[in-house]
Amino acid sequence: MNTVYTAADAKKITALVGLDISAAFDTIDHDLLASGLKSQFGVVGAASSWLISAAVSSSCVLADTTHL
């Protein structure tokens, strides 16, 4: 969250999206989801991996590794 606040304070374009999408992933083909995220929305890399991880398991962990 600190990164979002810092970017907003610096007048950078900033977006924070919070979604409860757990029920949506119960019936979806995860390979189809990954393909759609990449082709339709350009979601790749860590963001794609995290979303697919969240879809496959009932819990996931998101870590900010930019300051390590």
Could you give the CA distance from residue 30 to residue 27 in angstroms, rounded to a whole number? 9
Identify the residue with better confidence: 52 or 23: 52
* Backbone dihedral angles phi then psi of residue 58, each to the nearest 5 degrees: -85, -10
pTM for this one? Answer: 0.42
Which of 68, 62, 54 lies closest to 1 in space, CA to CA?
62
The per-residue pLDDT for 15 is 78
Span 1-40, pLDDT tens digits: 778 888 888 988 887 777 776 666 667 787 888 888 889 9
